[in-house]
Amino acid sequence: MTTITTNDEGRQEAFEFVNNNESTWYPPVNANPEGKLMLYNSLTKSKVPFVPRDGNHVSWYGCGPTVYDASHLGHARNYITFDILRRIMSDYFKYNVQMVMNITDIDDKIILSGRRAYLVAEKKKNISTLDQALIDEVQQALEFYVTKELKLDFSADIIFNPSPEIKTKISTEPKFGMKWKEATKALDALKEAEKALKSGKLSHEDAFKLIDQSKDVLAILLDDKYGRSVNDPKVFRNHAAYWENDFMMDMDRLNVRRPDVLTRVSEFIPEIVEFIKNIIDNGYAYAASDNAEGEQNSSVYFDVEAFDANPNHQYVKLDPKSKGNSELLDDGEGSLGAKLLGKRKKSHFALWKASKPGEPSWPSPWGMGRPGWHIECSVMASEILGKEIDIHSGGIDLTFPHHDNELAQSEAHFGNRQWINYFLHSGHLHIEGSKMSKSLKNFISIKEALNMYSPRQMRLLFLMQRWDSPSDYKADSMNEAKAVETKISNFFSNINAKLRESKDKESDSNGQRNFKDDELNLIETLKKAQTQVHEALLDSFNTPRALDAIKDLVTDTNQYMSARRDNADPQAITSVGKYVTYMCRIFGLAPDTTKEIGWGSLDSEAESQGANKEDIALPYLRVLSNFRDQVRSLARGEEGEDGKALKNALLTLCDSIRNEVLPPLGVVLDDQEDGKALIKFIDSKEWLKQKEEKEAKLREKERQKKERALAAEKKRLEKLEKGKVSPQEMFRTEDRRSEFSEWDENGFPTKDKDGNELTKNKKKNLEKELKKQQVLHEEYLKYIASKSS
């Protein structure tokens, strides 16, 4: 029999009375009990404990992209953010996460974008040369665009010389400003085309140039004229498929994991129809009435008031203050959906939209049509994950009406109070303080961003900021991300160099203890960092705090290695290196395949393509061979060659190897006090980028220096020019003589222009001017003398 009691120190004690020969076992007490994962839940506007519905299994639905244009940094912010959270949940907290993401491939934006792109492409197919007819058509398109989109009476003068009222609209109304730029661009293209036509430039390249530079303006007119005739489903499907593939390639480059299940709206039409029928049967939706002319109206709308009237339901859980916001409601219905008829109240939203000519359509009990935007996510998420889902994620700009409408229609369908248990929203992304928008075309595409920064640097930017707070993409914040990357990269290089050196040393013990206080302190520092990281991640995935703890650990370890030099304990620094590498993998900063200490490569091609030993070794052997050739050449120099000159030549050659030849191959040699170089492996691409940035800064510094020198020289010459006039003549010059009527023998004024004696104050001021001119004139004479000599 075992009896457990608690002693005065709070420690539990167990006493075994079965056999006096058995020892007593004291159950340990955890000094730091495991905390609970807390999540910021948009449904409660607070951090709440995370409790999955099914043990360790987590169901997660993430809003995917509407694929009609290039993915921008706002997408990077959203998908990298939730990729980080997903990795932490599955790889760190070890939940079994099933992630479902949709592709919206049926939508008003896709219909308009696909149709217009198709019509512009068809126009180019049918144009062989630049002619007056094409110029007239673009001119007509511009007039139509200004009238329809800008709501102005067209004239070229309005665009080139906008009124103060229009200038105010351009600066204060982003959409108006964006459309104004397109009109200006088209007008400029027309002017160029007219010049080309007059000079006889009639090639198809000139015609294409006009079409390409005015395509956004031209597309509006073409769509108005011919859009209703575009009925081939392939036009819309191919357009969406192209941009879906483009999005996926961007995500792969950003090291964003693919979802476990990828759904497309076009693949769930029958399920969407059944879902809507059930909402109608439950009394929360209605089919629109036919119009007065007897034309069938096949739209279906959600009845917000009927849903809200049920005490078991609540409409607008996420963003109550936006309830009834007509601008957001109209935006949620789409530019084509807003024109539909049969809606009983403005607040009601479309579940099924009647299709018009020029739009894709599918059969339904209510007539030919297509799904509304909000219903798509409800159906696809529920079909895969069921009627109650643990997590739903998306951008904060989708809160109302999209996510609130999702919740309402899903709960109307299932008859439950809560379809989603945790709603996670990533904060807005601002570019140098301004909110990005694809519809405003003020965005930086992911591809453009990756030309400036690496995927790791972009991920670090988002790790450094709270996932649920606004994020700012600007030069300062990116420089901070680059500094963190450099700090950790150097740390990995230092550790690996130390470990390679320790392998080269004799492994026999000298009988002295190596694991001393410094090593024990380092291990305690590691434990402290692990605790801080763990607590930060439990606190609603607080990655900035976790990253700070890792940076502090890196700093402390670097200090330990610097202090211990050649005697750094390999086991201690290996423990730290492996932990930092592990956390880099968790955050997606290193590929999942990374086994050794370090970043690894996020370049999927580099990871997948193997190389034989000869290909790997050849660049390094070539360096060694070239070095040997040059040393032999120096050694075979002239007999009487100065020994000091030979020494300098050899050192210069060694420096060249270290500074210029090896780094592009991914190798850095750090000279140490004992004369031996520490070998480090680096990312050669990153080294080259840093080298180019450093050289660019030096060039800029040199340019500024030259500018300052030129400005100083200009100022000096201006002073010399002033010094040309002698002090005796300065008050008699054409500019000054009218001020006075008499002068003394030295040319100093004695009377003013009216013949009056000069006052004391006036004399005093003139004497000051005289002294200043004397100095300037002396400098001028010295300058003349130096030039003649």
Strand partners, 72: 445
* Model pLDDT, residue 607: 44
Residue 202: how many other CB atoms lie within 10 Å? 14
- How is residue 135 written in tokens? 């110029």
* Model pLDDT, residue 339: 67
What is the average per-residue pLDDT within 250-260?
97
* Model pLDDT, residue 689: 81
Does residue 66 carry a pLDDT above 50? Answer: yes
Does residue 685 carry a pLDDT above 90? Answer: no
Q: In angstroms, rounded to a whole number, what is the distance separating the alpha carbons of residues 533 and 463?
A: 13
pLDDT in tens, 268-294: 999 999 999 999 999 999 999 755 454
Q: Where are any strands of DSSP class E within 619-700?
A: 667-671, 677-681
What residue has token string 């519809």? 439
* Model pLDDT, residue 347: 92
Rg (CA), the chain: 38
Q: In angstroms, rounded to a whole number, what is the distance separating the alpha carbons of residues 132 and 190?
A: 11
What is the average per-residue pLDDT within 609-620?
59
User: Which residue, among 318, 271, 261, has the nearest Cα to 60 in the 3D structure?
Assistant: 261
pTM value? 0.80
Q: What percent of the chain has pLDDT over 70?
A: 89
What is the average per-residue pLDDT within 584-608?
77
Using alpha carbons, list the distances in angstroms from residue 480 to 249, 461, 472, 485.
Answer: 27, 8, 12, 9
Does residue 719 carry a pLDDT above 50? Answer: yes
- How is residue 530 written in tokens? 């692990």
pLDDT in tens, 292-342: 454 567 899 999 999 999 999 999 999 999 998 888 888 888 878 666 778
Using alpha carbons, list the distances in angstroms from residue 148 to 31, 93, 225, 326, 738.
Answer: 70, 55, 14, 21, 66
Alpha helices per DSSP H over 38-127: 73-87, 108-125
Does residue 632 carry a pLDDT above 90? Answer: no
Check: CB of residue 137 under 8 Å from CB of residue 224: no
Q: In angstroms, rounded to a whole number, what is the distance separating the alpha carbons of residues 80 and 255?
A: 8
pLDDT in tens, 78-88: 999 999 999 99
What is the average per-residue pLDDT within 201-226?
94
Q: At what angle do helices 475-504 and 684-722 cross, to 10 degrees?
A: 130
* Torsion of Cα atoms, 548 then 553 then 556 then 558, to 10°: -110
Per mean pLDDT, which range of 92-96, 150-154, 620-624, 751-755 is the poorest? Answer: 620-624
Q: In angstroms, rounded to a whole number, what is the distance separating the alpha carbons of residues 472 and 433?
A: 6
Does residue 128 carry a pLDDT above 50? Answer: yes
User: Which residue, among 76, 71, 64, has the nearest Cα to 102 in the 3D structure?
Assistant: 64
* Model pLDDT, residue 1: 52
Task: Note the maximum CA span of the chain.
Answer: 132
Task: Please state the three-class secondary structure of 292-343 as a single string.
Answer: CCCCCCCCEEECHHHHHHCCCCCCCCCCHHHCCCHHHHHHHHHHHHCCCCCC
pLDDT in tens, 765-777: 898 988 988 888 8
Q: Which amino acid is at 76?
A: A
Check: CB of residue 415 under 8 Å from CB of residue 282: yes
Supply the mean pLDDT for the chain: 88
* Model pLDDT, residue 457: 96
Q: In angstroms, rounded to a whole number, what is the distance separating the alpha carbons of residues 569 and 518?
A: 9
Edge-to-edge strand list for the sheet holding 300-302 = 285-287, 300-302, 349-354, 369-371
What is the average per-residue pLDDT within 748-762?
89
- How is residue 705 written in tokens? 């220096």
Does residue 240 carry a pLDDT above 80? Answer: yes
Check: CB of residue 84 under 8 Å from CB of residue 543: yes
Q: What percent of the chain has pLDDT over 90?
A: 57
Give 467's DSSP letter.
T
Does residue 76 carry a pLDDT above 80? Answer: yes
Does residue 604 carry a pLDDT above 50? Answer: no
* Model pLDDT, residue 379: 98
pLDDT in tens, 529-579: 999 999 999 999 999 999 999 999 999 999 999 998 878 999 999 999 999
The angle formed by the CA atoms of residues 724, 729 and 732, to the nearest 5 degrees, is 125
pLDDT in tens, 687-716: 888 888 888 888 988 899 888 988 888 888
pLDDT tier, 503 (very low <50, low <70, confident <90, very high otherwise): confident
* Model pLDDT, residue 439: 57
User: Which residue, among 521, 517, 454, has the nearest Cα to 489 in the 3D structure?
Assistant: 454
* Model pLDDT, residue 565: 80
Could you tell me the domains of the chain?
116-232 (no CATH), 474-504+515-604 (1.10.730), 613-682 (no CATH), 723-788 (no CATH)
* Model pLDDT, residue 623: 73
